[in-house]
Structure 1
C-alpha cells in the first residue's frame, strides 16, 4: 500500500506558526533554491494532513476531520492535490 509523506528536501511553515491568520496557509519550497509554493485554505489543510504521512485514505480522513467535511465530499479533490504535489516532487511516495 502506497504511503505519502513530505519530501526530505522540502522546508515549510504554516501560517499558524507565524501569525495565526484566519485562512489556513502553508509556505513551502524545495531546498536548495526551489520556487516558493503557497497553499491556502483547503490546500493547506491537505498539506497539514500530509505532514503526518500515511496512506491516501488516512490523509483524506485527516483532512476531512480538520475541515469538518465528510470523506465522501473531499476524497476526489484531496487525491487530485496529492497527485499534483507528488508530480512537483514536494510529496514522496513510499
Structure 2
C-alpha cells in the first residue's frame, strides 16, 4: 500500500485536495511510488502546511483542501476506498 492507504486507517484522518491546471502535473506525480522514507510532497515540489482541524498536512499550492475524518472504508481486490466526513 502507498503511505496514504496505510496511514488513513491508523490515523482516522486525511486531506483530499483538488488540483487546478497549474498544479495538475505535480499532483499526478504524487501518485508515483516513492520509497517509504521519501515525502511525495517534497519530491514533486509542494509545500506542506498544517491543516486546521486534522493532523495530516495540507498542500499549500492546492486551491481546495478538504480536511476529513474517516467515516467508512471499502476494500476491493484492487484498492481501498476511504470515505470521509468533511
| Same fold (TM > 0.5) | no
| Structure showing the higher helix proportion among its residues | 1
Of Structure 1 and Structure 2, which has the larger fraction of its residues in strand? Answer: 2
TM-score normalised by length of structure 2:
0.29
